[in-house]
Structure 1
Amino acid sequence: MIAINDTLFSRASAEVIDLHRFFVGWFVAARADEVDFSRFERAMGEGFAMVAPDGQVLDRAAVVDHVRSSRATCDDGFAIAIEDIRPGWQSADTIVVFYVEAQLRAGRHSRRQSSAVFTISSSAPNGVEWRHLHETWLQMPEG
């Protein structure tokens, strides 16, 4: 059994929730002017990579560019909920966190199982930075 570092898990959990709040603010047209994009850039560690739900592998630059260009592309109905967040493997400065991301976009529901790797970083929001993210469809957008 792995000993859980509650502080590292609480930081990573807070980061998952806070980053998805950032996405809602950034993507919703009515709120986008109030959101600081640098928060997102500070959270993405050097060498960050993502496996999107469709299997595409994206490097940090591609993810940052995609998020930047998606500003104000959603209506007020866009929502994200984070469910079933739990710790996975961890060491003194690294943790894997599992969670389900549920989205409502343009009236269509979707869900994805995610696993993310975080490392401690004093300059990142919540004291951890994203190093890797893997998302898998549980429910593709309806419609």
Structure 2
Amino acid sequence: MTSGPTLFSRARAEIVDLHHFFFEWYRTVSADKTHFGRFESVIGDGFRMIPPSGKILDRDAVLDYVRANRATCGSDFLISTDDIRAGWESDDTIIVSYIEIQHRGGKHSRRQASAVFTTRSSAPNGVEWRHLHETWLQMPEG
């Protein structure tokens, strides 16, 4: 009997897939073909984000920010993730860390992120984002 994908493999797939959504959503050349519902469906109720600025954003603020920034990047925009690692884990919750790399408007940046995921069978990868905390490793510079 197989038990299916591990919680970590589902969270890792979600991180990769969501950043692919950002790649498509923010680029002017692909935004029209990108469905916002994919993003909205994986951001759990009570979600909180702490971006590098330190400000605490609730779910609605994050959704509004991403929605408002649709198609704001040119074709040079790139976003990717690296060094995805599992942290603490229980039966239905996991903390995962990763590095986000961006190239936007001729500037490069890198962020260290820690995310909390819980299981949700209706989500595309079987997990939803509950908390995200980011800090600069490399601030945007050209």
TM-score by length of 2: 0.95
2:61 corresponding residue in structure 1 = 62
2:95 corresponding residue in structure 1 = 96
Whole-Å separation in 2 of the counterparts to 1:125 and 1:140: 31
Amino acid at match of 1:33: D
Q: Alignment identity in percent?
A: 63
Aligned ranges for residues 1-143 of structure 1 at < 5 Å? 7-143=6-142
Runs of 4+ residues over 3 Å off in structure 1: none
Amino acid at match of 2:65: H
Deviations 1:39-83 (A, max 9, x none): 000010000000011101100000000000000000011001101
Amino acid at match of 1:11: R
Deviation at 1:123, TM superposition (A): 1.4
Residue aligned with 1:45, SS: strand
Amino acid at match of 2:95: V
Amino acid at match of 1:39: R
Whole-Å separation in 1 of the counterparts to 2:138 and 2:131: 22
Amino acid at match of 2:61: A
Whole-Å separation in 1 of the counterparts to 2:124 and 2:22: 14
Whole-Å separation in 1 of the counterparts to 2:107 and 2:124: 30
The count of corresponding residues between Structure 1 and Structure 2 is 139
Deviation at 1:124, TM superposition (A): 1.2
Residue aligned with 1:68, SS: helix
Deviation at 1:32, TM superposition (A): 0.3
Residue aligned with 2:54, SS: coil
1:3 corresponding residue in structure 2 = none
Deviations 1:11-34 (A, max 9, x none): 000000000000010000010011
Residue aligned with 2:125, SS: helix
Residue aligned with 2:141, SS: coil
Amino acid at match of 2:23: V
Q: Supply the RMSD in Å over aligned alpha carbons.
A: 1.2
Whole-Å separation in 2 of the counterparts to 1:99 and 1:21: 15
